[in-house]
Amino acid sequence: MLDINLLRRDLDGVVAQLQRRKNPQPFLDVARFSALEAERKQIQTATEQLQARRNALSKQIGQLKGRGQDTAAQMAEVNGIADELAAGAKRLEVLQAELQAMLMSLPNLPQAGVPDGADESGNVEVRRWGTPPALAFTPRDHVDLGLPLGMDFETGAKLSGARFTLLRGPAARLHRALAQFMLDTQTLEHGYTECWTPYIVNREVLEGTGQLPKFKEDMFWVLRGGDETQAEQYLISTSEISLTNTVREQILDAAALPIKLTAHSPCFRSEAGSAGRDTRGFIRQHQFDKVEMVQITHPDHSDAALEQMVGHAEAILQKLELPYRVITLCTGDMGFGSNKTYDLEVWLPAQNTYREISSCSNCGAFQARRMQARFRNEQGKPEFVHTLNGSGLAVGRALVAVLENHQHADGSIRVPAALQPYLRGAEILRP
């Protein structure tokens, strides 16, 4: 959430920053915001004047009573002021709620160095690693490779509908091995604390990280016992949600920063707006696993932490011997809560292109302000922390990339050396 004082000080500047995101419709109704602010100021000024008048009357009443004089007129005026103050407070509460709703709908402001652009065509490549494999045969896609290994789309659809998959045998073991390898790398080499989090969270938790209220259609809503009157809860779309909210409504010691957390969890997304995209295979699922990285940092250190986090995701890809590239997302392609985002895209031979496998974002104080997550600065005053999140990595897409990049002509899969200890030393994966 943006600081409302920033809008009050420099509304035109904030609007200009929001326009960099290239949204077809304005994010902020400037006229409505200005009208609400003007009325808020008027009520607060009137309240101060009424309170001053009430104080003066109270003093006058005391003096009159001391002289034994009648105070009926003054008492009547005090009662009238009380009614006016109550009405003003009630109206102010309505105004504040509408202003809060407007703030909750506004995305983060992009950093100055983020490239301007309307969509993914405006993204900027930063670097590449590895060389796409020069296969002496026509590469098969992960579906053709995965079916004999136990990737079962038909049964997944029978159980749960489209975009659900059942993994058996070698495919399931490879999936488990990848997740375990990623967790071990993030914890043992990169210094993250492993967590196991709830997969169902409350509404206010999703508001804290920015999924609600704007992206409710992307979430799976949980009805406990089918009762819609129960507390509003949702399945997590990423463990970023639960990991980041571990510091909500806290004031941390500066010495405790940075906090580095990781978790392996299923993620549940309705994929609203994705109809017709990646309908074949394991690329875009309603349920998928991901190893998430989250950092809670001092504001001065968040930009460096973002670069570090990207490096942690890159290390996984390099150990898996997967060619990839790093791109900076443009303003129109960034996520709602991010002020800067890097995507890592892995090479998929069958598609002859790079596809996203990790997204690493600096959210600045945007999520922290929504969560009221703070630390005590050098002056001992509470200040909002900065939050960062990144995929380290999406397990299913890593499985797809391993199958396609390390395939042999006979359909067997070469197991990267880093994964072999997790597959009982196997060097080749066969049906």
> What is the per-residue pLDDT across 339-379, written as a single tens digit (0 to 9) for each?
999 999 999 999 999 999 999 999 999 999 999 999 999 99
**pLDDT tens sequence across 44-98:** 999 999 999 999 999 999 999 999 999 999 999 999 999 999 999 999 999 999 9
**Local confidence band at 229 (pLDDT 50, 70, 90 cut-offs):** confident
Place of tokens 């160095």: 113
Domain boundary pick from 51, 69, 104: 104
Active-site residue 378, yes or no? no
* 200 belongs to a structural domain: yes
CB within 8 Å of 246: residues ≥ 6 apart: 195, 261
Long-range contacts (CB closer than 8 Å, 24 or more residues apart) made by 252-256: 252/296, 252/373, 252/374, 252/375, 252/376, 252/385, 253/375, 253/376, 254/298, 254/375, 254/376, 254/377, 254/378, 256/375
60 and 99 inside one domain = yes
Q: What percentage of the chain has pLDDT greater than the value 70?
A: 99
Quote the CA–CA distance of 100 and 97 in Å, as a whole number.
5
71 and 132 inside one domain = no
100 and 143 inside one domain = no
**Domain at 19, CATH number:** 1.10.287.40
* 133 belongs to a structural domain: yes
Q: Is the pLDDT of residue 99 over 70?
A: yes
**Domain at 196, CATH number:** 3.30.930.10
91 and 177 inside one domain = no
Sign for the CA dihedral angle at 144, 146, 147, 148 comes to positive
Half-sphere exposure of 167 (CA within 13 A, CB side): 20
Tokens matching residue 254: 């500066």
Q: Which H helix or E strand runs over 399?
A: helix 395-405
* 296 belongs to a structural domain: yes
Choose the weakest-confidence range: 25-29, 87-91, 160-164, 221-225.
221-225
* 172 belongs to a structural domain: yes
Choose the weakest-confidence range: 168-182, 229-243, 268-282, 332-346.
268-282
* 235 belongs to a structural domain: yes
Q: What value, to the nearest 5°, has the Cα angle with vertex 282 and ends 279 and 287?
A: 95
Nearest to 150 by CA among 419, 320, 399: 399
Active-site residue 369, yes or no? no
Q: Please report the pLDDT score of residue 60 as a whole number.
A: 95
CB within 8 Å of 21: residues ≥ 6 apart: 27, 107, 110, 331, 332, 334
Q: Please report the pLDDT score of residue 227 as a whole number.
A: 83
* 110 belongs to a structural domain: no
**Local confidence band at 211 (pLDDT 50, 70, 90 cut-offs):** very high
**Local confidence band at 276 (pLDDT 50, 70, 90 cut-offs):** confident
Nearest to 417 by CA among 181, 186, 175, 192: 181
Q: What value, to the nearest 5°, has the Cα angle with vertex 368 and ends 363 and 369?
A: 110
Quote the CA–CA distance of 233 and 73 in Å, as a whole number.
55
Residues 160-181: b if buried by 16+ CB within 10 A, e if exposed: eeebbbbbeebbbbbbbbbbbb
**Local confidence band at 246 (pLDDT 50, 70, 90 cut-offs):** very high
- Give the full edge-to-edge strand order of the sheet including 382-384: 251-253, 374-376, 382-384
Residue 250: give the domain boundaries.
120-429
79 and 134 inside one domain = no
Q: Which H helix or E strand runs over 96?
A: helix 72-104
Q: Is the pLDDT of residue 266 over 80?
A: yes
168 and 285 inside one domain = yes
For residues 333 and 117, is the Cβ–Cβ distance under 8 A?
A: yes
**pLDDT tens sequence across 283-329:** 999 999 999 999 999 999 999 999 999 999 999 999 999 999 999 99
What's the rounded mean pLDDT across residues 9-30? 96
Quote the CA–CA distance of 84 and 93 in Å, as a whole number.
14
CB within 8 Å of 224: residues ≥ 6 apart: 230, 231, 233
Counts of helices then strands in the chain (DSSP H, E): 12, 18
**pLDDT tens sequence across 157-176:** 999 999 999 999 999 999 99
Helices (H), 123-215: 142-146, 153-160, 169-184, 203-209
What's the rounded mean pLDDT across residues 393-420? 98
167 and 205 inside one domain = yes
Q: Which of 239, 358, 397, 404 is catalytic?
A: 397
**Local confidence band at 418 (pLDDT 50, 70, 90 cut-offs):** very high
Mean pLDDT of the chain: 97
Higher pLDDT among residues 376 and 227, named by residue: 376
Q: Please report the pLDDT score of residue 305 as a whole number.
A: 99
How many whole angstroms from its chain centre is CA 112?
A: 20
Q: Please report the pLDDT score of residue 228 as a whole number.
A: 81
Active-site residue 430, yes or no? no
Higher pLDDT among residues 404 and 224, named by residue: 404
Q: Which H helix or E strand runs over 72?
A: helix 72-104
Q: Which of 77, 232, 356, 383 is catalytic?
A: 356
Domain boundary pick from 104, 138, 165: 104
* 114 belongs to a structural domain: no
Active-site residue 168, yes or no? no
Q: Please report the pLDDT score of residue 277 as a whole number.
A: 77
Residues 184-200: b if buried by 16+ CB within 10 A, e if exposed: ebbeeebebeebebebe
Q: What percentage of the chain has pLDDT greater than the value 90?
A: 95
Helices (H), 105-152: 142-146
Choose the weakest-confidence range: 29-33, 121-125, 185-189, 224-228.
224-228
133 and 22 inside one domain = no
Q: Which of 265, 302, 358, 359 is catalytic?
A: 359
* 109 belongs to a structural domain: no
Backbone angles phi, psi at 132, to 5 degrees: -55, 135
The count of domains in the chain is 2
Q: Is the pLDDT of residue 272 over 70?
A: no
pTM value is 0.94
Domain boundary pick from 73, 104, 135: 104
Choose the weakest-confidence range: 24-28, 261-265, 353-357.
24-28
149 and 98 inside one domain = no
Q: Which of 176, 284, 376, 414 is catalytic?
A: 284
Q: Please report the pLDDT score of residue 363 as a whole number.
A: 99
Active-site residue 359, yes or no? yes
Q: Which of 20, 21, 163, 269 is catalytic?
A: 269
Q: Which residue type is seen at 4?
A: I
Q: Is the pLDDT of residue 273 over 70?
A: no
**pLDDT tens sequence across 105-161:** 999 999 999 999 999 999 999 999 999 999 999 999 999 999 999 999 999 999 999
386 and 262 inside one domain = yes
Q: Which residue type is seen at 328?
A: T
What's the rounded mean pLDDT across residues 392-405? 98
129 and 94 inside one domain = no
54 and 129 inside one domain = no
Output the DSSP codes for 257-308: PPEEEEEEEEEE---TT-TTSS-SSSSS-SEEEEEEEEEEE-GGGHHHHHHH
